[in-house]
Structure 1
Amino acid sequence: MSSILIIDDDPRNVFALSAVLKAKGHTCRSAPGMKEAFALLQAHTDIGIILMDMMMPEMDGYEAIPQLKASPDWKHIPVVAVTAQAMTGDRERCLAAGADDYLSKPVDVPQLEALLQQYLKA
Structure 2
Amino acid sequence: MEQKQVLIVDDDVRNIFALKAVLRSRNISCITTGTGSEALQLLKQENEIKVVLMDIMMPDMDGYETISTIRQMPGKEHIPIIAVTAKAMTGDREKCLEAGANNYISKPIDVDELLIQLQQYL
Q: TM-score, normalised by structure 1?
A: 0.95
1:40 is matched with which residue? 42
Secondary structure in structure 2 of the residue aligned to 1:85: coil
Deviates more, 1:70-79 or 1:94-103: 70-79
Of 78, 81, 105 in structure 2, the residue corresponding to residue 79 of structure 1 is 81
Q: Give the Cα separation in 1 of the matches to 2:102 and 2:93.
A: 11
Structure 1 match to 2:53: 51
Counterpart in 2 of 1:28?
Answer: 30
Aligned partner of 1:7 in structure 2 is 9
SS of 1:70's equivalent in the other structure is coil
| In structure 1, C-alpha distance between the alignment counterparts of 2:37 and 2:69, rounded to whole Å | 12
* 1:9 to partner: Cα distance: 0.4
| Identical counterparts, % of pairs | 52
What is the TM-score when the length of structure 2 is the normalising length?
A: 0.95
Cα deviation code 1:45-100 (max 9, x no counterpart): 10000000001001001111111011122112101000101011111111111110
Measured after TM superposition, the shift of residue 2 of structure 1 is 1.0
Once residues 42 and 98 of structure 2 are traced to their aligned partners in structure 1, the CA distance between those partners, rounded to angstroms, is: 25
Aligned AA (2:54): M
How many correspondences in the alignment? 120
Deviation larger for 65-74 or 48-57: 65-74
The runs of 5 or more residues in structure 2 that have no matched partner are none
Structure 1 residue ranges (4+ consecutive) displaced by more than 2 angstroms after TM superposition? none
The offset of 1:34, in angstroms, is: 1.6
Question: Equivalents in 1 of 2:63, 2:82: separation in Å?
Answer: 10
